[in-house]
Amino acid sequence: MTSESPPPEPAPLLLTRLNRRGFRLVMLLDGVGVFGLSVLTMVWRYGTPPWPTYPLAAYAVSFAVATLVFLSAFYFGGLYEREPRLGGAAVLPRAARLSLAAGGFVALLNLALSGVLRQRGSLIGRALPFPIPNLVAVIVLAGIVVAVNRAVVHALRTRREGPPRVVLAGEWDDIELAREHVAANSTDLVVVAEVDDPHSVVELVERSEATDVLLLTAAWLDLWYPRTIGRLDRADVTVLLRVGGRETLFGLDRLREVAGLPFVLLLPQTLAVSQRHFKRILDLVLVVATAPVWLLLVAGVALHQLVVAGRPLLYSQTRVGAGGETFEMVKFRTMRVDAEAGGGPQLSGSGDPRVIPACRWLRATRADELPQIFHILTGRMSVVGPRPERPELTAGFEKEIAGYTRRHEVPPGLTGLAQIHGRYHTDAEYKLGYDLQYLVNWSPILDLEIIARTIWVVLARRV
């Protein structure tokens, strides 16, 4: 008797695959809206084309560039991240701020391009013919258009899928409280299941085809994070945690109201997809812009190492990168070739006798890490992030330090918050605190601040 293998799962639809990569159909609506506003403001002021001063093609290019800038601002501003249907944050204030930033960038871009082209004698007028009053009108109206698009998409989704199907999870006292609030508030949700066992929620969600889980007992968070929340997120199930006054006083922001109760959104990743993409673009811009400087430094240090340390110039080590995957990280060799003979992997401290005396200044200035810039180009590393550790050490840290795996959410960095505040011998748990603080508070400005402070650490030769 032979057993038949189960049929293969159908391949995800194209739209589903695009959604997982951050593409949303609402992007097209926003693009049409911004471009349409650009055209309508011209029609309102000057009537139907042709319009004065510039050919129609020049206006079309100008409106297309402006639309691309607006969509980029909306994307990197997080407007296209998957938002929960319950207690969603107001879109209009965020869209208005991003529209203002995008419009300002369009104006500056127009001035810069026009100035460059005039200097070359190839332009009389504007590079992007977009009248300032029209641009101001687009800035004001674009936020409204984006908010209306979200409302339309939300209404269509609710009509197609029905109201959110919710699982109440927690201790029975908490479930009863939530049940009372749901009954007393005319909320657009349907409670499909209740569960007081923290270990059976995933199976219950699958059976009930729930779309959202309301975690009502905060003590369960330690049991759910990160595995359970990760499994639910991969199934496109939103998880919201009910918070009380104590958690709010600890600095939680962006509270969401569901059935009269305050919740915060739980995500398996600290950085959103759009933030990780922006961080990657920032890495490439910084590395390419500073290439003349770091290429000369790499060449100079390589020559020094060849004289004082001989071959091999580089030292390769297996390190843990993003997602816990390992990679071979290279650096200039500053220790004896037999530094770990018989001793195995170990952390290096100040005054380590294995370090070649003429190479101590490389470690003090972090110049031995310069070859890792090539890892940044390939995406294995980032300019700023948690420093990569060896898998042998990481395995021990993960057992001893709760939450240590969270530092692997982003590619490891050439420098990081722990490096500018700590030393080589700083305890791993304290470094983790800096790493998690970096993830929670990430912004392009924070990266630039850490880079600037790293330069000071290098100049001060502090380890």
Measured distance CA(40)–CA(152) in Å, rounded: 21
pLDDT 10s digits, 347-368: 555 566 778 888 888 887 888 8
What does the pLDDT read at residue 372? 94
Q: What is the pLDDT of residue 351?
A: 60
Q: Which residue has the tokens 């739209």?
A: 15
- Which residue positions in the chain have pLDDT lower than 50? 1-6, 8-11, 250-251
Residue 345 confidence (pLDDT): 55
- Report how far apart, in Å, the C-alpha atoms of 271 and of each of 187, 260, 440, 442, 444 are: 30, 28, 8, 8, 12
For residue 269, the model assigns a pLDDT of 76
Q: Tell me the CA distances in angstroms from 227 to 199, 224, 234, 423, one per residue in order.
A: 11, 6, 11, 32
Q: Which amino acid is located at 156 in the chain? A: L
Q: 193 pairs with which residues across the strands?
A: 167
Nearest one of 208, 259, 263 to 237, comparing CA atoms: 208
CB 403 within 8 A of CB 437: no
pLDDT at 116: 81
Report the pLDDT value the prediction gives residue 436, as an integer from 0 to 100.
82
List, for residues 329-348, the tens digit of each pLDDT value: 999 988 877 666 555 555 55
Q: Tell me, letter by letter, the H, E, C secondary structure of the chain.
A: CCCCCCCCCCCCCHHHHHHHCCCCHHHHHHHHHHHHHHHHHHHHHHCCCCCCCCCHHHHHHHHHHHHHHHHHHHHHCCCCCCCCCCCCCCHHHHHHHHHHHHHHHHHHHHHHHHHHHHHCCCCCCCCCCCCHHHHHHHHHHHHHHHHHHHHHHHHHHHHHHCCCEEEEECCHHHHHHHHHHHHHCCCCCEEEEEECCCCCHHHHHHHHCCCEEEECCHHHHHHHCCHHHHHHHHCCCEEEEECCHHHHHCCCCCCEEECCEEEEEECCCCCCHHHHHHHHHHHHHHHHHCHHHHHHHHHHHHHHHHHHCCCCCEEEEEEECHHHCEEEEEEECCECCCCCCCCCCCCCCCCCCCECHHHHHHHHCCHHHHHHHHHHHHCCCEEECCCCCCHHHHHHHHHHCCCHHHHHHCCCEEECHHHHHCCCCCCHHHHHHHHHHHHHCCCHHHHHHHHHHHHHHHHHCCC
User: Please, are residues 424 and 349 in contact by the beta-carbon 8 Å criterion?
Assistant: yes
Taking the CA atoms of the chain, what radius of gyration do you get in angstroms?
A: 27
Task: Quote the CA–CA distance of 232 and 203 in Å, as a whole number.
Answer: 10
